[in-house]
């Protein structure tokens, strides 16, 4: 079953065609990588799927439901979480406060109703559990802005996951990380997405080929190929357009 599907998706920025008839299919439970050269339209595709932009044509389906044009917070409520290519934590809030915000956004209305009963203790416990799981319990009370780059991005990945989404969308979570930080981030992503569906934009081919069950290659706004890693590696069109230059 496809948990996420786009049908005939087009997007342009004032006439500049960035997505062209994109039919993406993501199966429930898989880790799906979206790769492609800079400017291929990967981030735009994420923005259209997650409701930041409305596509100029086409539809987005999540769990079989047409969600085209739904707002990000609505999508969050029904089980879609995302991180951004640019870090999106609140730098002056502590690690704990950032995670708590994410947990709160999941509880949303339910939290409002529970508030009078015991609400806050619950939220605090959950946020602390998450911090522990991502090894940030020692940084709990530090402002996010002073964390090392790697920890900062871990915090951000965790915020996307704190809402316990069924589908997680990560846009270049390892960008700018050292080898070591990348290794830790990949293990974190692997662990936190167990039993969920992951769509990840990633430029590091070692990460892609070790993490992904299936890969979609985007090239000039079009899908060039979709398939398991071994198949993508062998695909002549992909080699010509993209992978060839990396292996040379």
Ligand X SMILES: Nc1ncnc2c1ncn2[C@@H]1O[C@H](COP(=O)(O)OP(=O)(O)O)[C@@H](O)[C@H]1O
Residue carrying structure tokens 């960008």: 175
Residue 222 DSSP SS3: strand
Minimum distance from CB of 46 to Mg ion (Å)? 8
Q: Measured between alpha carbons, how far is 162 from 129 in angstroms, rounded to an integer? A: 10
Minimum distance from CB of 184 to ligand X (Å)? 24
Minimum distance from CB of 36 to ligand X (Å)? 6
Minimum distance from CB of 172 to ligand X (Å)? 8
Is position 83 an interface residue for Mg ion (rule: CB under 5 A)?
no
Report 80-99 residues binding ligand X (CB under 6 A).
none
What tokens were used for 194? Answer: 């167990």
Q: Measured between alpha carbons, how far is 6 from 48 in angstroms, rounded to an integer? A: 10
Minimum distance from CB of 39 to ligand X (Å)? 4
* CB atoms inside a 10 Å sphere around CB 227: 15
**Gyration radius of the chain over CA positions:** 18
* Cβ closest to ligand X, residue 46 vs residue 96: 46
* Cβ closest to ligand X, residue 43 vs residue 163: 43
Is position 13 an interface residue for ligand X (rule: CB under 6 A)?
yes
What tokens were used for 72? Answer: 């990000």
Tell me the C-alpha to C-alpha distance, in Å, between residue 220 and each of 188, 232, 245.
31, 17, 17
Ramachandran assignment for 76, one of left (phi > 0), alpha (psi -120 to 50 degrees), beta (any other): alpha
| Binding track over 36-75 against ligand X, x by CB under 6 A | x-xxxxxxx-------------------------------
Is position 50 an interface residue for Mg ion (rule: CB under 5 A)?
no
Which of 13-21, 105-113, 139-147, 208-216 is the region at the interface with ligand X (rule: CB under 6 A)? 13-21
Report 14-33 residues binding ligand X (CB under 6 A).
16, 18
> Please, are residues 45 and 22 in contact by the beta-carbon 8 Å criterion?
yes
**Which residue in the set 6, 43, 158, 182 belongs to the binding site for Mg ion (CB under 5 A)?**
43
**Please, what is the Cα angle at 83 between 32 and 28, to 5 degrees?**
30
Which of 21-29, 36-44, 148-156, 206-214 is the region at the interface with Mg ion (rule: CB under 5 A)? 36-44
* Cβ closest to Mg ion, residue 42 vs residue 153: 42
> Please, are residues 197 and 168 in contact by the beta-carbon 8 Å criterion?
yes
* φ, ψ dihedrals at 156, nearest 5°: -65, -40
* Cβ closest to ligand X, residue 45 vs residue 95: 45
Query: Using CB under 5 A as the criterion, which residues of the chain lie in contact with Mg ion when the complex forms?
Result: 42-43
Q: Which residues bind ligand X (CB under 6 A)?
A: 13, 16, 18, 36, 38-44
């Amino acid at each position: 079953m496809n948990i996420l599907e786009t049908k005939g998706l087009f997007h342009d920025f004032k006439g500049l065609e960035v997505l062209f008839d994109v039919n993406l299919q993501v199966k429930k439970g898989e880790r799906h990588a979206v790769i492609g050269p800079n400017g291929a339209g990967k981030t735009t595709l994420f923005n259209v799927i997650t409701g930041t932009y409305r596509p100029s044509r086409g539809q987005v389906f999540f769990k079989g439901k047409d969600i085209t044009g739904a707002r990000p917070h609505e999508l969050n409520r029904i089980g879609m979480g995302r991180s951004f290519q640019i870090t999106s934590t609140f730098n002056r809030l502590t690690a704990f406060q950032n995670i708590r915000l994410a947990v709160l956004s999941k509880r949303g209305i339910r939290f409002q109703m529970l508030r009078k009963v015991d609400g806050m203790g619950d939220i605090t416990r959950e946020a602390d559990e998450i911090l522990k799981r991502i090894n940030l319990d020692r940084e709990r009370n530090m402002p996010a802005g002073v964390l090392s780059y790697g920890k900062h991005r871990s915090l951000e990945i965790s915020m996307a996951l704190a809402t316990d989404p069924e589908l997680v969308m990560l846009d270049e979570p390892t960008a700018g990380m050292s080898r070591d930080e990348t290794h830790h981030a990949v293990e974190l992503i692997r662990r936190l997405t167990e039993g969920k569906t992951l769509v990840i934009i990633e430029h590091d081919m070692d990460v892609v080929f070790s993490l992904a069950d299936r890969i979609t290659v985007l090239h000039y706004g079009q899908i060039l190929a979709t398939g398991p890693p071994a198949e993508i590696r062998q695909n002549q069109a992909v080699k010509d357009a993209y992978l060839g230059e990396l292996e040379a």
